[in-house]
Structure 1
Amino acid sequence: MEPNSAGKTSLLTQPRAVWAVGFASVIAFMGIGLVDPILPAIAEKMHASQSQVTLLFTSYNLVMAVAMLITGVISTRLGTKWTLLCGILIIAIFSAWGGMSNGIWQLVALRGGWGLGNALFVATALSAIVSLSASGTGQAIILYEAAIGIGISVGPLLGGGLGGISWRGPFYGVAVLMAVAFIFLSIMMPKTKRLTKAKSSLLDPFRALKFRALSTLGITALLYNFGFFTLLAYSPFVMHLDEHGLGFVFLGWGLLLAVTSVFMAPKLQKRFGTLTSMCVMLILFALALFCMGIWTSNRWAIIIAVILAGAFLGNNNTLITTAVMQAAPVERPTASAAYSFLRFIGGAIAPWTAGKLAEVFNPHVPFVVGGCFVLLSVLFIASNRTHLKHIDHTESAH
């Protein structure tokens, strides 16, 4: 039962703890965009291949996927606030350490440590905002996705600016921002009660995946995240822009992601239902990837497709996150951990695969393969729709 689902509170009328977590989420997700504009620069400075540089995303997502399985165990013992603070502290340490590295393999390993911190923060932040919100699950998720969108959109602009000075700049920038988030969360967020009454077990996420609705959404996210991280990790190499140019492109991408996740996704959900809206957005995203695969040598075609993809991803992120929170009768942190474990596996496989496909074949192939995986996610939803019917029914009831 949702403690706040019956209220009619405005989205902007939230407890102080929700705003504290939301602010920290903005800064945490700035870390993703901060690094993206400097991928080509890292490849040049460290004499690394594209597939080696894309391992910065692979190690990050792989460690995050595995770590998601222990977030519930940690959060039910440390409590929400201290789990969030531990995650922020780990990100700050490993990002600063990454800025001091001198080899690609050392940097790849340190990004893995960064992923551990992000896992602790991301899984706990989502469940904390949903549980502590005064406006119900749907609006709480919109608030969370808005924080993600703002962080992702502002991050590349700052990363491009710092990256123009040195590729190390964004790593140090993340460390400073995480220190700010640590102080802010320590002061603003009061000590909260555990989100679950019982201590979580390592087996809980696997037990949760026995519910077909949750496992279906997790596998769907695994497939579509293959396309998501193909775009994020590989597109900087084919745009042939400097750090500032890449920063502005991903600023546009992130702004569309933020705006659609907050304003457009709820309207689509109300008008067409969660599942239908998800499928349409995924199809449009797949088409954007196919266009990138066809016109890879056309810089402006890639730039426009990347920016437009932000709208499709923003809508889909809100829709699928809302569905996950209603998918199975398990605690929200457990559902979030199980789902995130599967989706970040897709994010781990895609970046290295994209770089390798480009090296073995040509730059067109990664985007075509990414689009095919996104289409597979639509087919998977369609073939398992009977297990997801209750999601649209639950949304209608609310």
Structure 2
Amino acid sequence: MRKATVITTGSEIVEGLIINSNAQHICRRLTETGVSIVRSISVGDDLESIEKAICEAFEDSTVIVVSGGLGPTKDDLTREAVARSLNRKLLFDPALENRIKEKISKFHKAPANTRKQAMVIENAELIENPVGTAPGQLIRDGDVILILLPGPPQEMKPMLESVLSKLSNKRNCSINMLFFGIPEASLDELVQKLPTPKWLKVATQATHTDGVKLRLYAPSEYSTELKKFSEQVIAKINEHFVGFDNTTLEEVVVRGLEASGLTVSSAESCTGGLLAAKIVSVPGASKVFKGAVVAYDNSVKTNILKVREQTIEQHGAVSEECVFEMAKKVKNMINSDLSVAISGIAGPSGGSKAKPVGLAFICLWDGKKSYIKRIFYPQERNMFRSRVVSTAMDMLRRYIFKLPVI
């Protein structure tokens, strides 16, 4: 089995200014490809530090992935560090520079420092960048493969995928699943109660907003048995199962609405249009999403949605009665098959003893029946908003697939 060291460069990572999502993604994809991770380290934008990390990786790794430092500025030093560690030349590629300039000129005038991105390590293979301008490089040195990728995740991810086949030594297989509405401990307990073979490895990961991720992992010769085990898990808690791999709640909802021939609209208060934004982030959402009203202020609830002032006076804007009227009114206004309304108290102020910060009500209305859910999630306001939206999305998922909604 190949062993890998993952090196992410950037002083902003080392200093804690940004989250190092690249390391997590690269390590996960390498593991899924059958490559064992020896270490994952971060180094600053310093030539000696990057070179030292690469030299140390050669001691016990046959795959070295370096992310970052391929841009055109003076602190982009990965090419120079790798060339020095391998004692190879950096060669200027004029054809590559022309391609880079041509890509940049579609948006603005190409700067003079594009030449730096056209410097190629001796005997390296170029990795095409379909998103940005910095090409990656793949270098072979004996049994070792070095892969140099840019730092921006939207550029790094497709480039990594394009070279994974060169590393494939797949002795392991895995199945990744997403569940919602079940605590991590309960999911783990359920899995452990099933007849668990010795070759199976199980890992769970709770997220505060998106649900619980379950990863089943086994040697590749047990791939058929692994699939059967995953089916047993789903059969036990089918109502909580969202999908495989990187499937999201919003993708399942949009595809489900489309398959059912249904449309939806939303009326949002505390979430400020986040539910609508999540839905329209999915390609093809225009087929199922009719529109939304962000009724953040009570005057918008009464003047635009036509929620009765008496309802707000008697029950408050954060109440079952208010979200029910919001859902009914937005459905009629936009003429959708379904509607979802949300109202809550995101905080940090605005709560009371009777209605504390973290309280929210969600209503799903289909024109005949309302499904109203009260949730209490006293967390940081944007984490709260995301969790409320995920809960609303899950209510839609359950309705579409004829599962218990509340």
Shorter-chain TM range is: under 0.3
Structure richer in helix, relative to its length: 1
Structure index of larger Rg = 2
Structure richer in strand, relative to its length: 2
> So what's the TM-score if we normalise by structure 1?
0.24
> So what's the TM-score if we normalise by structure 2?
0.23
Higher relative contact order structure (alpha carbons within 8 Å, sequence separation ≥ 6): 1
